[in-house]
Structure 1
Amino acid sequence: MDEDLQDSEVLKIFHREKSYEEMKHRIETATELGQISEEIRRKHKGFHEWDSVSSRHDHQTILQILIDGKDCEAVDIEGQPLPTLVYLAREKRPQFHHNFKAGAMNALIRVSSRISNGKIILNVDCDMYSNNSDAVRDALCFFMDEEQSHNVAYVQYPQSFCNPTKNDIYSNNLSVLQEVELAGLDSNGGPFSIGTGCFHRRDTLCGKKYSQECNKPDWKCCANDTKIEESREVLEDTCKILASCTYEENTLWGKEMGLMYGCLVEDIITGYRIQCRGWRSTHFNTERKAFVGLAPTTLLQSLVQHKRWSEGHLQIFLSEYCPYLYGRKKIPLKLQLGYSLYSFWTVNCFATLYYISVPSLCLLRGIALFPKISSIWIVPFAYAFFANRAYSLGEFLWVGGTIKGWWHDQRMWVFKRTTRTTSYLFGFTDNILRLLGFSKSAFVITAKVAEEDVSQRFEQEVMEFGVSSPMFTVLATLALLNLFSFIGGLKRVVLDMQNEVLDLFAAQIILCGLVVLINLPVYQGLFFRKDLGKMPSSVTYRSIVFALLACTIAAY
């Protein structure tokens, strides 16, 4: 009997995998051809409407209820009823701003309120999938706990990825942030909403403030029980209005209701405002990751993603929603400090730029910035450096990382700050220009689909450059500047017969040497690699000229 059950389970798993692969193939085929197959068109009338659409950015609302949860014939292979499934493409017109992800989420919130009106909403990015079927049950436990659930607005799972390499070359996992910092915020008012893997209470997304009346929600009462029964056709026509471009005009949607508009990190500011209305959030990390997605596979993708995040966080801090102003007496001070930590990601680039460039330039000029290596005053500098790195290494290993992964994390820490000297400096500049009215916020989507050769280099943990970018120019220029300064410093030591130079400049030489070690992949991309992922020649020539020019000015 046990063997029969085992065989039955194997067959079910095989059937599910086969069904998934078939669905994946249909989606990929439709994407490549730019059209839906006739078989699917005949089965689902909603797809027929795409025939009359002029473009993806100019079309009417397309909506169809594919599976009605009340349909007794809609069952899975085990005979269990299937949930309601709705296909929706909200209306888009060139003359109306569609507000990116926030606009899509708000349209979905309105349409779902009419069709199912479920009290809990799960937000998952399109490139993520469920990896743990117990995640739904676990999240509901937080919402339905009789003693502590009354003020829980959302339950946030960590963002996890299925494609990072063993040593996470681009530090995509953000292990310390996901495993340590979010958990730390959990005890200080709750973590922020990261935009995916998050279970929301519908009422809080719709602008409801926390009050004592929220203490005992009646989860057994379903809103659909009291709704007037409508035919599928009438319901579809009604819901199309809710997803139209003009529905939000002169309403509170995007301001007090739904996800907020006008911010590059709309999920962060939405969760923050929910907390300011008296609600708290919960962080939950399971041994088996709840939701898994795709991480960027090139350096530029990762830097662009961090540019958007940094710019968005700074945008919040410089707006009326500054944690110390808008959040005063609404959220705990410790939570205000937690939000501020990420708000200053952008400004942090200036200090990093100083440590990456000024000591090396001063070394060329012969200006000592640190105490002599023989002086007792070098001890505080040495202690601060080694204690900080040792703590960082211990923290990284504690969350399951490797030593090589920690080294990649340190490299990306510098890259994201020297190119946060570009990515974050660009983010800082964009914010200043936006505040002065010279530019508008632009939501840049992180591309996560890679060519086969790019994927192969990613799996081999070979850093991907490949394209010309101002970020790479700055990155390469600073790398070469430190290399030239390091060679110049060693030359001074070799020519010095009394070892005074070594005593005076040892700290700066060591600092330049560490920067050179961190930038080894950059030097490989500039001079030694022959594959398509190497640094473009235009970047190489520009960076050499800029670095030599800086060295010449510093030396003479």
Structure 2
Amino acid sequence: MIERFEDKTEWGDRIGWIYGSVTEDVVTGYRMHNRGWRSVYCITKRDAFRGTAPINLTDRLHQVLRWATGSVEIFYSRNNPILASPRLKFLQRIAYFNVGVYPFTSIFLVVYCFIPAFCLFTGQFIVQNLNVFFLSYLLLITVTLVLISLLEVKWSGIALEELWRNEQFWLIGGTSAHFAAVIQGLLKVIAGVEISFTLTSKSAAEDEDDIYADLYVVKWTSLFILPLTIMVVNIMALVIGISRTIYSVIPQWNRLFGGVFFSFWVLSHLYPFAKGLMGRKGRVSTIIYIWSGLIAITVSLLWITLQNNVEGGGNFTI
């Protein structure tokens, strides 16, 4: 029998590398800072550690799900920075709070992705009345976000293209893995259902001669459902919105352009997701076709039903 050095000690529970968490590195750092310890970055000329990372869409989303699940666990545990001791500094508290709360922003992100489609379906723009105060506020927020992005680019030394790729995957991960992690966390807290996730598969390619073979491996996962639904609904909304405006007696082009702009903005973020679903040589899994068809049929039936209620003088109002 091999006895480990941490046996019969508090290592892994109160000191050292903390076990029992999906994101044990965050919990370990939090416990250290919560006790008043100081930490510094140690950057060596030669890499201290190296590892492998998933490169295909399925495994990447499962990895993001694992990280987001760990963040939700931290938010609902005694490691929540709101409950921290006074030794934890204010900026540290904000940083750790951001780590625990960021998956919950996916709720608002999902709503945002469906709003442009709703505008195109109904023919109503998201904002009914524009005033100087609202436009000034919107301009201020937009300029602030652009300046923050430029500051990040300058600080990290990355190209604008890489920043855009990161923005795209932020939306893809937010509408899939982050949203799933929030649901799993709520189920565990409210109903006592244990959180489960799929461990990252680091190699699943059959062609060992191609170093990029893993990139084209696409395995169906339930994480695809929500972003695929957002993509199909927005595409159908574009078709319906444009068709209705063209054949309308009094076309409302200004409302159409507003909805089309934001809908294209959502679809442009989901372009890598659509490309990743195709895999090698554009081969799409059958279940993706089936799910897309079901979404299209459901949306079409809902649209026809709502139109009949409106034209028939029903009580339905928008």
Task: Please give the TM-score of this superposition, normalised by the length of structure 2.
Answer: 0.81
The 5 A counterparts of 1:289-328 are 289-325=47-83, 327-328=84-85
The 5 A counterparts of 1:56-67 are 61=1
Residue 491 of structure 1: which of 213, 225, 243 is its match? Answer: 243
The answer as to whether partners of 1:360 and 1:481 remain within 8 angstroms in 2 is yes
- Residue type of the partner of 2:86? K
Shift of 1:398: 4.5
The 5 A counterparts of 1:305-454 are 305-325=63-83, 327-371=84-128, 376=132, 377-378=134-135, 380-381=137-138, 384-385=141-142, 387-389=144-146, 391-393=148-150, 395-396=152-153, 398-419=155-176, 423-436=177-190, 438-442=192-196, 444-451=198-205, 453=207
- Residue type of the partner of 1:466? V
The answer as to whether partners of 2:172 and 2:273 remain within 8 angstroms in 1 is no
- Structure 2 CA distance for partners of 1:530 and 1:337, relative to 1, 3 Å: closer
In 2, distance between residues paired with 1:389 and 1:432? 34
> Which structure has the greater CA radius of gyration?
1
- Residue type of the partner of 2:158? G
Shift of 1:260: 2.7
- Residue type of the partner of 1:424? H
Q: Which residue of structure 1 aligns with residue 262 of structure 2?
A: 511
- Residue type of the partner of 2:21? C
Structure 2 SS opposite 1:438: coil
- Residue type of the partner of 2:3? I
Aligned length: 304
- Structure 2 CA distance for partners of 1:263 and 1:547, relative to 1, 3 Å: farther
Residue 225 of structure 2: which of 465, 473, 477 is its match? Answer: 473
- Structure 2 CA distance for partners of 1:458 and 1:344, relative to 1, 3 Å: farther
The 5 A counterparts of 1:201-350 are 240-242=2-4, 247-248=7-8, 252-285=10-43, 289-325=47-83, 327-350=84-107
The answer as to whether partners of 2:17 and 2:24 remain within 8 angstroms in 1 is yes
- Residue type of the partner of 1:402? A
In 1, distance between residues paired with 2:223 and 2:150? 27
Task: Please give the TM-score of this superposition, normalised by the length of structure 1.
Answer: 0.49
- Structure 2 CA distance for partners of 1:291 and 1:437, relative to 1, 3 Å: same
Instruction: Choose between structure 1 and 2 for higher RCO, CA contacts under 8 A separated by at least 6 residues.
Output: 2
Q: Which residue of structure 2 aligns with residue 143 of structure 1?
A: none
In 2, distance between residues paired with 1:320 and 1:285? 31
Shift of 1:445: 3.7
Shift of 1:507: 2.8
Structure 2 SS opposite 1:401: coil
Residue 540 of structure 1: which of 279, 289, 294 is its match? Answer: 289
In 1, distance between residues paired with 2:72 and 2:178? 10
- Structure 2 CA distance for partners of 1:497 and 1:550, relative to 1, 3 Å: closer
In 2, distance between residues paired with 1:485 and 1:294? 40
Shift of 1:263: 1.6
The 5 A counterparts of 1:47-62 are 61=1
- Structure 2 CA distance for partners of 1:261 and 1:378, relative to 1, 3 Å: same
- Structure 2 CA distance for partners of 1:439 and 1:455, relative to 1, 3 Å: farther
Structure 1 SS opposite 2:290: helix
Structure 1 SS opposite 2:79: coil
CA deviations on 1:245-280 (whole Å, 9 max, x unpaired) are xx55xx644422433333211121122112112211
CA deviations on 1:295-349 (whole Å, 9 max, x unpaired) are 2211122211111111112211211221011x13021121111101111122111
CA deviations on 1:406-448 (whole Å, 9 max, x unpaired) are 22111101101111xxx22221222223334633345754232
The answer as to whether partners of 1:477 and 1:543 remain within 8 angstroms in 2 is yes
CA deviations on 1:360-412 (whole Å, 9 max, x unpaired) are 1232122321256x865445435534652464255235523223322211110
Shift of 1:350: 0.2
The 5 A counterparts of 1:151-162 are none
In 2, distance between residues paired with 1:341 and 1:492? 43
In 2, distance between residues paired with 1:311 and 1:408? 23
Shift of 1:454: 9.0
- Structure 2 CA distance for partners of 1:516 and 1:330, relative to 1, 3 Å: same
- Structure 2 CA distance for partners of 1:436 and 1:260, relative to 1, 3 Å: farther
In 2, distance between residues paired with 1:455 and 1:353? 40
Q: Which has the higher strand share?
A: 1
- Structure 2 CA distance for partners of 1:357 and 1:261, relative to 1, 3 Å: same
In 2, distance between residues paired with 1:287 and 1:493? 61
- Structure 2 CA distance for partners of 1:380 and 1:468, relative to 1, 3 Å: same
The answer as to whether partners of 1:371 and 1:378 remain within 8 angstroms in 2 is no
Shift of 1:483: 1.2
- Structure 2 CA distance for partners of 1:525 and 1:242, relative to 1, 3 Å: closer
Gaps of 5+ in 2: 307-318
The 5 A counterparts of 1:71-90 are none
CA RMSD of superposed structures (Å): 3.3
Shift of 1:520: 2.8
In 2, distance between residues paired with 1:290 and 1:530? 34
- Structure 2 CA distance for partners of 1:355 and 1:457, relative to 1, 3 Å: farther
Structure 2 SS opposite 1:344: helix
- Residue type of the partner of 2:179? L
Shift of 1:290: 4.5
Shift of 1:469: 0.8
The answer as to whether partners of 2:232 and 2:295 remain within 8 angstroms in 1 is no
Shift of 1:506: 3.1
In 1, distance between residues paired with 2:208 and 2:145? 34
